[in-house]
């Protein structure tokens, strides 16, 4: 009954610490292999329906900066969890869809994620959890962030 493959879907706020601690505990209990994922949403999705081309600043630059920050955070948490680069993933798109898609692709048997995250530009939101629940290919452990 032990979980063998875990996908930890994190956002990149400080609150990630709680989720990462839980991932570590569950991975050790189950002797499971952990993959780490964070999803950056396209900026025109973050501000639904707005006209990216009409921006005074180059939206592509903002997205590039968000991606850079996301990569740095991912690296930090991957190191904490001892996860090698090939199991550390940066996704683009709608977080809940992307998490489910990757979970299916990787054939994981458990997704771990936070249920409440501070909202940050283009970063994975805690409210994504209900979206993941609907039609998830596997069990989902949602960690309550205080």
Residues in contact with a second copy by CB under 8 A are 1-2, 21-22, 24-25, 29-30, 115, 129-130, 133-134, 136-144
Backbone φ and ψ for 44, nearest 5 degrees, come out as -75, -10
By C-beta, is 20 or 70 nearer to a second copy? 20
Which residue lies nearer to a second copy by CB, 30 or 69? 30
Calpha distance 93→137 (Å, rounded): 19
Count other Cβ atoms within 10 Å, centred on residue 88: 19
Q: How far is the CB of 92 from a second copy (least distance, A)?
A: 25
- Of the pair 4, 64, the CB lying nearest a second copy is at 4
The residue (of 63 and 95) whose beta carbon lies closer to a second copy is 95
Sign of the dihedral defined by the CA atoms of residues 62, 39, 125, 46, in that order: positive
Question: At closest approach, how far in Å is the CB of 136 from a second copy?
Answer: 6
- Rounded to the nearest whole angstrom, what is the least distance from the CB of residue 130 to a second copy in the complex? 5
Provide the 3-class DSSP secondary structure of residue 91: strand
How distant, in Å, are the alpha carbons of 2, 36, 48, 128, 139 from that of 10?
A: 22, 7, 22, 11, 16
Nearer to a second copy, 6 or 70 (CB): 6
Shortest reach from residue 44's CB to a second copy, in Å: 27
Contacts of 34 by beta carbon, 8 Å cutoff, 6+ apart: 6, 7, 8, 23, 27, 81, 83, 87
Smallest gap from Cβ 24 to a second copy, in A, equals 7
């Amino acid at each position: 009954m032990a979980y063998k493959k875990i996908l930890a879907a994190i956002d990149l706020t400080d609150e990630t610490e709680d989720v990462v601690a839980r991932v570590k505990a569950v991975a050790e209990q189950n002797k499971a292999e952990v993959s780490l994922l964070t999803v950056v949403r396209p900026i025109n999705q973050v501000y639904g329906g707005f006209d990216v081309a009409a921006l005074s600043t180059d939206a592509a630059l903002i997205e590039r900066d968000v991606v850079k920050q996301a990569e740095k955070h991912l690296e930090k948490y991957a190191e904490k969890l001892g996860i090698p680069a090939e199991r550390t993933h940066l996704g683009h798109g709608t977080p809940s869809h992307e998490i489910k898609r990757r979970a299916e692709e990787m054939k994981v048997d458990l997704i771990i994620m936070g249920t409440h995250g501070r909202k940050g530009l283009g970063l994975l939101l805690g409210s994504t959890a209900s979206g993941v629940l609907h039609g998830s290919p596997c069990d989902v452990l949602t960690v309550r962030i205080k």
